[in-house]
Chain A
Amino acid sequence: MSMLHIVNKSPLDKGTFSSCVNHAKSGSTILLIEDGVYAVTKGSTSAALAQQAMKNGVTVSALWPDLEARGMQDTVIDGIKQVDYSGFVDLVAANKNVQSWL
């Protein structure tokens, strides 16, 4: 556990999720917030990228209040850890460093 990567933009609008996955090392965590949560919804072309990250030993998390706001709470792919705001804080505290992919 070293780096927490935060992505807040839609994967089909901006390339930040793709860049993040391509730089996230095994043992790190990607947290998806705001429009970033669309990256791990079933049937989205970006879901394969999230699965690739998990296969590489990266933990992929998503903030459930943002999933729920967008009506995507029932369409999350398997293997995604859903966290709330206090879980967000825990992730920040547990990792040595944080990188926001703006």
Chain B
Amino acid sequence: MTEATGGIEMDEDSAGTIKKFMFVNRKAPYGTIYALESLEVVLISAAFDQDVSLAFLDDGVYQLKKGQATKAIDVKNFSPTYRALEGYDIEKLYVEKESMDERGLTEDDLIVDVQIMSRAEMADMMDEQDVVLSF
């Protein structure tokens, strides 16, 4: 455990407990810093061997849009990072169908393989988490 926590000693009870963490992404990329900040915390969480999932709903679905090219606005394009999450054992990416429909997006428009679910299913998924972090 000390290796996974960067040498920080955790108390006996908390060490080894795996909790369900969900990162809820509801903002478009670039217009605000939320999307990038969420991604940073997700990558940090990967070091703690927790049960991590990412939810994309409302404008958050835009984060996964294919073909982002940010050279002209002189901002880092962080969208390829979503494809790298698999390498950190973060494989639960949930996208809300209704949010995509409202924005004219389909599964083919997304940069990474995800699990598409209805708004009701997303609500259930949120309900069963131990920790929800909203961005």
Contacts and interface: CB of A to CB of B under 8 A. Distances in A.
Contact of A13 (B59, B71, B72): B59
A42 B103 CA distance: 8
Interface residues of B, number: 25
B68 A71 contact: yes
Given A10-B59, A34-B30, A69 B70 contact: yes
Interface residues of A, number: 26
A13 B28 contact: yes
B58 to A, nearest CB: 7
9 closest A-B pairs by CB: A43-B104, A65-B72, A35-B31, A71-B67, A71-B65, A71-B68, A69-B70, A69-B73, A68-B69
A45 B31 CA distance: 20
A43 B105 contact: yes
B72 A35 contact: no
A93 interface: no
Contacts of B29: 70
25 contacts: A10-B28, A10-B31, A10-B59, A12-B59, A12-B102, A13-B28, A34-B30, A34-B31, A35-B30, A38-B28, A41-B104, A44-B103, A45-B103, A65-B72, A68-B69, A68-B70, A68-B71, A68-B72, A69-B30, A69-B68, A69-B69, A69-B72, A70-B68, A71-B79, A75-B104
B33 to A, nearest CB: 12
